Amino acid sequence: MPHFEFNLFDGTKRNTAQLSSQGQPVFLFFFVTW
């Protein structure tokens, strides 16, 4: 998975490297409307 940074709903920033280093599965769901 490429490393990228994103904002959570509470305004904190996370990146995929932090999530994957915790050793737990990561599920990302992207939803858009056109």
Q: Three-state DSSP class for 6?
A: strand
Domain chopping of the chain, boundaries:
1-34
Q: State pLDDT tens for residues 1-34.
A: 677 898 889 999 988 888 777 777 778 788 899 8
What is the phi/psi pair of residue 7, to 5°?
Answer: -100, 135
Give the pLDDT score at 22.
75
Tell me how far apart the alpha carbons of residues 33 and 20 are, in angstroms, rounded to a whole number: 28
Show the tokens assigned to 24. 């737990």
CB 15 within 8 A of CB 8: no
pTM of the model: 0.44
Give the pLDDT score at 1.
67
- Helix H or strand E encompassing 7: strand 5-7
